[in-house]
């Protein structure tokens, strides 16, 4: 377990941007955290230590910020990395799902057969807001016969109650507001 001071350091590198991308949204900008090697390490350590020995086969990272953390975690946990992408980006035949986010309607796609049947999967994104994106990713995993072991986030906006949308799934977040 990382100390409260260590986590506070990582939290200090998250910047609030009011009214982005639309009025009323307080955007949690992780670019200062990514620019700070210590803070980036802290976040990766905090997530990775929760899953060491849990036999994670694959990590599904959600475009675009989920790729950054998901890719680094896949390397640490010796798991495959599978991108869940916005429509029209993936070159091969894909499964697709549509859903609602905190501020928009969206669709996600994943290449067909990118999750082996019975695989243990971690869904990774930067922010848990209403939970729609993570739930949609889990639906894609389920379509392909994978089992979602947990949902993991750098930031959880707990007042939006995304955790309830993902219940009874396991939710792990590093920093909660």
Smallest separation, CB 161 to ligand AMP (Å): 10
Nearer to ligand AMP (CB atom), residue 8 or residue 164: 164
Considering only 42, 44, 62, 149, the residue that binds ligand AMP (CB under 6 A) is: 62
The label of the residue with tokens 């429509």 reads 87
Cα dihedral 88, 91, 93, 97 in deg (nearest 10) = -30
Burial of 35 (0-12, 13-18, 19+ CB in 10 A): exposed
Q: CA end-to-end span of the chain, whole Å? A: 19
Has 15 been annotated as catalytic? no
> Which residues inside 69-98 make contact with ligand AMP, applying CB under 6 A?
none
Site string for ligand AMP, 14-53 (x = CB under 6 A): -----------xxxx-------------------------
Judged by CB under 6 A, does residue 139 bind ligand AMP? Answer: no
Q: What is the rounded radius of gyration, in angstroms, for the C-alpha atoms of the chain?
A: 15
Handedness of CA 2, 7, 13, 19 (dihedral sign): positive
Selecting among 76, 102, 147, 172, the annotated active-site residue is 102
Q: Which is nearer to ligand AMP, 109 or 126 (CB)?
A: 126
112 catalytic per annotation: no
Phi, psi (deg, nearest 5) at residue 176: -115, 135
> Minimum distance from CB of 40 to ligand AMP (Å)?
16
CA distance 121 to 142: 10
Binding segment (CB under 6 A) for ligand AMP, from list 45-53, 78-86, 108-116, 127-135: 127-135
Q: Note the Cα 85 to chain centre separation in Å.
A: 12
Residues at the contact surface with ligand AMP, assessed by CB under 6 A: 25-28, 62, 65, 101-102, 125-133, 157, 162
Question: Which residues are part of the catalytic machinery?
Answer: 65, 102
């Amino acid at each position: 377990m990382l100390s409260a001071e260590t986590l506070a350091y990582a939290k200090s590198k998250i910047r609030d941007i009011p009214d982005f991308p639309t009025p009323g949204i307080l955007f949690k900008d992780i670019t200062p955290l990514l620019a700070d090697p210590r803070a980036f390490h802290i976040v990766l350590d905090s997530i990775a230590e929760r899953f060491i020995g849990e036999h994670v086969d694959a990590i599904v990272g959600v475009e675009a910020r989920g790729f950054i953390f998901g890719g680094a975690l896949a390397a640490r946990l010796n798991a495959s990395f599978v991108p869940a992408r916005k429509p029209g980006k993936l070159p091969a035949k894909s499964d697709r799902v549509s859903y609602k986010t905190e501020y928009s309607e969206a669709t996600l796609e994943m290449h067909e057969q990118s999750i082996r049947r019975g695989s243990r999967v971690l869904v990774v994104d930067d922010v848990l807001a209403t939970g729609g994106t993570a739930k949609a990713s889990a639906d894609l995993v389920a379509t392909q016969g994978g089992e979602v072991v947990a949902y993991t986030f750098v930031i959880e906006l707990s007042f939006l109650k995304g955790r309830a949308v993902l219940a009874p799934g396991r939710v792990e977040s590093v920093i909660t507001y």
